[in-house]
Structure 1
C-alpha cells in the first residue's frame, strides 16, 4: 500500500535523487523482497509526471530485476545500495549521501540490493510521461540472485 506524505522536500534531495522499482508483477519477473515505498509528492507539469518516493529496502532485500521507461534520479539517505546490471556485474556501490541516476529503457535492466546490516533508505524522483509505470519488471538475466 502506498502512503502519501504531505510536506515540502528539501531542494537538495530533489536535485540529487535514486531509482527503484514499481510495476505489476509478471510470470517471469523477479519480485522485490523487503521493499517499502512511500509516495512523498506527485505532480504533472507541461505533460511530464514527477513522482518523488522514499524507498526502504530491508537488510538482504532487493528491488527485483527491472528497468525504467523514464528518467530516475535519487540520493541515498541511510544504508548502502549495491547496484547490479544485467551482465551480472556491480556497476555501483552507493553509501549515504551518494547521488545515483539510472539509464532508461529495456536495454538497461538492473537490480538494487541491500547487502548491509541496516535498512537502506533512498529518496527517488521519477520523471516520465503521465500514466506510465515507475518501472517495468524483468526476469533474472541469469545472475543467480534477486
Structure 2
C-alpha cells in the first residue's frame, strides 16, 4: 500500500524512531480547530481533485494539510506518551526468592519442606504469587502447598 511513498527531510518520522521531532511534540489538539479539517473530502488532504483556477483555494488546501499534519503529529505524540506510561511487570528472579526461602528458619528447619519450596518456585507464576503474599504469610503458604502435595 505504501510502497511508492518516501518520506525524507527534517519532518520525516517512522515508528522505529520512537520519538517525535522537538518542534512537533508541543502541538495540542486544543490549538487546532478540528472542524476546519473535517470539511471537504479526501481531495483536501492529498490534492487529488482537479486543479483549481483559484490561487486562494490552493493556499487553503495547504493550510488544511498543515493542520491535519499538526493533528497527526499531536496524536502520535499522545500515543508515544501513553506507551511510556506502561511499565512492564516487575521481574521476580529465582535468586531473590531462594534468598527469601533460605532466610526463613522455619523452612530451613525441615529440609523436606525447604526442598519442596525450592522446587515449587521454579514456575514463574508461583514465584510471582510467593512475592505478592505478605511476608508473614509466605511460610504458611509454602507449608499449605507442601501438605496439599503430600495428600
TM-score by structure 1 length?
0.20
Greater relative contact order, per chain length (Cα 8 Å cut-off, separation 6+): 1
Q: Which has the higher helix share?
A: 2
- TM-score for the superposition, normalised by structure 2: 0.19
